[in-house]
């Protein structure tokens, strides 16, 4: 869900990920989870008009509100539902007058903005009320088993995501940080959503729907599949992490940063 001023890929993707290459099948694995959606909807408050920046395929856009979506990637715009188009624009150059929207949102997108402060300043310019940013805390100190099998992926993620403090500082005004528990049966297949279902991340499409995997060498997913498959077959994974299979929710560093003027 990339947004930035510089278009760096053939399909118009403006961030570091090439969604023209990895976007196929994205919506098969990245379906909005209703419990996460409820947290976002609550944070938007009484807004009636909402701007979604880096809107991608439209995940988490409230269906009861008037949503204007912005997404520079043609591949991602093509995945959006019929009747819910997105404007081809970028976070740091929004084509709207000041104070155009009651609220704004961005989910799993700000880590691709080359100039976070400029992008959020532009979002604030066009937004009268709350700005809701969903992101992953790169400083989260909880262990995730994926680090055992593909540390390169986790290092890539932590290197791309801005700190939660950095997002809050760029938003300015009054900010609140909310922890978003990840459900065991989460339908949105970001990496941490598989905390208790490791078998599902063996599927290539599941990994492809997480852009961090596109930045690592080919031998990394090959090793990951080989080693995790072996540990699942032998019981080694369950010997360490079986409790996760029955954990209803998990704090995997998913956060909502809500900024109000």
Write the pLDDT tens digit of every residue in 220-251: 999 999 999 999 999 999 999 999 999 999 99
* Lowest mean pLDDT, pick from 35-39, 111-115, 176-180, 184-188: 111-115
Establish if 127 belongs to a structural domain: yes
Establish if 12 belongs to a structural domain: no
Residues 80, 81, 84, CA angle at the centre, nearest 5°? 85
Average pLDDT over every residue of 52-71: 96
Q: How far is Cα 210 from Cα 240, in angstroms, rounded to an integer?
A: 25
The answer to whether residue 114 scores a pLDDT higher than 90 is: no
Do you know the residue count of the chain? 261
Is 13 or 143 the better-scoring residue by pLDDT?
Answer: 143
Residues 186, 188, 194, CA angle at the centre, nearest 5°? 55
Establish if 81 belongs to a structural domain: yes
CATH number for the domain that contains residue 42 = 3.40.50.150
Establish if 14 belongs to a structural domain: no
The overall average pLDDT reported for the chain is 91
Residue 114, CA distances (Å) to 92, 140, 155, 162 in order? 9, 22, 18, 10
The answer to whether residue 19 scores a pLDDT higher than 90 is: no
Number of separate domains in the chain: 1
Q: How far is Cα 35 from Cα 17, in angstroms, rounded to an integer?
A: 27
Contact by Cβ (8 Å): 102, 49 = yes
Q: Which of 161, 156, 69 is nearest to 106 (CA)?
A: 69
Q: How far is Cα 34 from Cα 10, in angstroms, rounded to an integer?
A: 33
Establish if 1 belongs to a structural domain: no
Establish if 156 belongs to a structural domain: yes
Contact by Cβ (8 Å): 260, 142 = no
Is 6 or 100 the better-scoring residue by pLDDT?
Answer: 100
Average pLDDT over every residue of 158-167: 95
Establish if 63 belongs to a structural domain: yes
User: pTM of the entire structure?
Assistant: 0.88
**Domain containing 136: what range?**
19-260
Establish if 4 belongs to a structural domain: no
Q: How far is Cα 99 from Cα 199, in angstroms, rounded to an integer?
A: 46
């Amino acid at each position: 869900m990339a947004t930035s001023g510089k278009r760096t890929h053939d399909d118009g993707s403006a961030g570091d990920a090439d969604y023209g290459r990895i976007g196929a099948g994205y919506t098969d694995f990245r379906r909005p989870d209703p419990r996460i959606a409820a947290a976002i909807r609550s944070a938007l408050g009484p807004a009636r008009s909402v701007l979604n920046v880096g809107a991608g395929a439209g995940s988490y856009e409230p269906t009861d509100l008037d949503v204007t979506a912005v997404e520079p990637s043609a591949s991602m715009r093509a995945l959006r539902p019929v009747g819910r188009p997105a404007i081809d624009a970028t976070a740091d150059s929004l084509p709207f007058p000041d104070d155009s929207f009651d609220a704004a949102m961005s989910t799993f997108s700000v880590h691709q903005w080359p100039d976070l402060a400029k992008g959020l300043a532009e979002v604030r310019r066009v937004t009268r009320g709350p700005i809701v940013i969903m992101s992953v805390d790169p400083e989260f100190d909880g262990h995730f088993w994926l680090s055992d099998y593909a540390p390169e992926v986790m290092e890539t993620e932590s290197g791309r995501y801005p700190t939660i403090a950095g997002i809050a500082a760029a938003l300015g005004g009054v900010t609140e940080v909310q922890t978003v528990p990840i459900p065991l049966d989460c339908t949105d297949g970001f990496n941490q959503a598989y905390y208790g279902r490791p078998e599902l991340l063996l599927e290539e499409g599941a990994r492809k729907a997480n852009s961090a995997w596109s930045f690592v060498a080919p031998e990394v997913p090959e090793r990951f599949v080989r080693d995790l498959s072996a540990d699942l077959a032998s019981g080694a994974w369950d010997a360490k992490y079986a409790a996760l299979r029955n954990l209803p929710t998990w704090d995997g560093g998913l956060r909502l940063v809500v900024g109000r003027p």
